[in-house]
Structure 1
Amino acid sequence: MRMLVIGAIGSVAVAVASVATGAPATLQSDLAAAVAAPSRTPANTARDRYRHPAETLAFFAVKPSDTVVEIWPSGGWYTEILAPYVAGKGTYWGVGPWPKGVDGLRGLQEKDAALYGAIKLAAFPADADMPRVPDGTADVVLTFRNVHNWRMGYQRGGIDYAPDAFRQMFAMLKPGGTLGVVDHRLPENADAARERSSGYVKVSTVRQLAEAAGFVFDGASEVNANPRDTADWPDGVWTLPPSYRLKDVDRAKYAAIGESDRMTLRFRKPR
């Protein structure tokens, strides 16, 4: 499996090259088995064709023995894969706006304690009086389609707190640890102001945020790309599935486009 590095990104030139996942065959097999588990919700597995979980997690090289932190897991789409995958050998943390932002994971724990009972919960972003992931303990931190929320100030009164979010993710990781970011991709030539309303964000913005927090860029994959998405829809990214915010207006058109075009970026915390 080979994946393309994103080409020139705004003012930051990135050489076009092929990037292997670096994941050995045994790891890819373990991830494929986790994705194929019958315990996953059918509504979630139906979206695998858009979200490519096995390939994405292989690119981030997530191992069963890792301490994995997922930022804002919401209802637990990736939790259904990751929590059983690391159970017994590693640790899964689900972190979100405290305390309501992790209610979806509490629901999973109540539904199936055997699969999800070992999940650890914490706040993110964490204020001083909130439970948090201990600094320097995570092997991998993953955030799926959240950076645009931080840029838009969701849950924080409209204030852009993406810089603080990246600093907190950096603190969680062990030296040498991995940050994996997936988000809706805004074209580099688009008006940057659209990041505050459309749900899309530029690759260059994510890189600047990560590097300002201390991360080193480690690669990009096109596994979650969708060239049919032009990122200029009447109600932002929520025009497309699965949201269909326009309801029945041009629904067949948006269904044919599919879910959004997404960047998949990997960063390292320096040793």
Structure 2
Amino acid sequence: AARSVGAAGGDAALAAAIAGPQRSAANKARDAWRHPRETLRFFGLQPGQTVVEIAPGGGWYTEILAPTLREHGKLYAAHYAVGPASEESMKSRANFAQKLARDPASYDKVVVGTLPLRSAGDFAPAGSADLVLTFRNIHNWIKDGHLDESLRAFHAVLKPGGVLGVEEHRAPPGTSLEQMIATGYVTEDFVIDHARAAGFALAGRSEINANPRDDHDHPDGVWSLPPTLRGGDRDRAAFQAIGESDRMTLKFVRPPASQP
């Protein structure tokens, strides 16, 4: 049965999940850049919550969220379509499903659904989620043309007072929409403006995932940097020295008085 877990217990559950054997060594190696404990604490994660992870990709954060929430909470993972989608998204979805199936002790209670969400009821019940989390995905939704629709669906699936947590590659102020799509870096103002238009209030911003070594100007955009390293051996050492991208970390709230 679900029960309230105190802050200390919640922190212990999160720490145990981050250190746990269900995480791959390659994924743990990214902790120095992705700061999962600090990021999830900033968003307010607690083990008894209902959480929706949007576009989990290979499951980097799912490896942490699923064990943290397994006993007392609920995790929905909204992945890309299985059907007539791009080959890349189909492969990603299949790999994610295989990952969950290999370790039922960690992932047996994860509910997998399909993107894009057009409305709350597509996936989790309207007004049911404490947290909706998305990590480094917004640039894709801008390119695919469903950012605003998705933000409205996230708003509807959250409880009043619920939190939308966003981590995204950060472009310098004034970057054009065309450049955002080309490089994968998005301005904070763009994200905040679109979230507000969907009914959210900005509740906080953090520099947990900032990287001052990233000048945002690379031949393959954000994909020049680790972990993608799209340029192969070209300037590889320089890109590895920069590390992962400079990223915004924003917390939005569905205002308590708002309606779906």
TM-score by length of 1: 0.85
Residue 108 of structure 2 corresponds to: 117
How far the C-alpha of 1:114 sits from its partner, in A, is 1.8
Question: Which of 141, 148, 154 in structure 2 is aligned with 1:150?
Answer: 141
**1:82 aligned partner, one-letter code:** L
Unpaired stretches in structure 2, ≥5 consecutive residues: 1-5, 83-89
Cα pair 2:47 2:73 within 8 Å, conserved: yes
Aligned residue runs from structure 1 range 248-259, under 5 A: 248-259=233-244
Report the 3-state secondary structure (helix = DSSP H, G, I; strand = E; otherwise coil) of the residue aligned with 1:98. Answer: coil
**What 5-or-longer segments of structure 1 have no aligned partner?**
1-22, 154-159
Counterpart code for 1:113? P
Report what 1:78 is aligned to.
61
Q: Contact 1:34/1:84 (CA < 8 Å) preserved in 2?
A: yes
- Corresponding residue for 1:44? 27
Separation of aligned partners in 2, 1:103 and 1:72:
13
Q: 47, 62, 66: which one pairs with 2:45?
A: 62
Under a length normalisation based on structure 2, what TM-score does the superposition of the two structures give?
Answer: 0.88
Confirm or deny: 8 A CA contact 2:151 2:195 kept in the other structure: yes
SS of the aligned residue for 2:183 comes to coil
Q: Is the 8 A contact 1:94 1:102 kept in 2?
A: no
Q: Offset of 1:74 from its aligned partner?
A: 1.2
Matched, 1:264 2:249: yes
Paired position in structure 2 for 1:215: 200
Shift of the alpha carbon at 1:111?
0.2
In structure 2, the partner of 1:14 is none
SS of 2:81's partner is: coil
| Equivalent residues, number | 242
Task: Check the 8 A contact 1:27/1:58 in 2, yes or no.
Answer: no
Distance (whole Å) between structure 2 residues aligned to residue 107 and residue 137 of structure 1: 27
What SS does the corresponding residue of 2:52 show, helix, strand or coil? Answer: strand
Identify the residue that residue 147 of structure 2 maps to in structure 1.
Answer: 162
> Using the alignment, how far apart are the partners of 1:183 and 1:204 within structure 2?
12
Tell me if structure 2 keeps the 8 A contact 1:102–1:121: no
Q: Give percent identity, aligned residues only.
A: 47
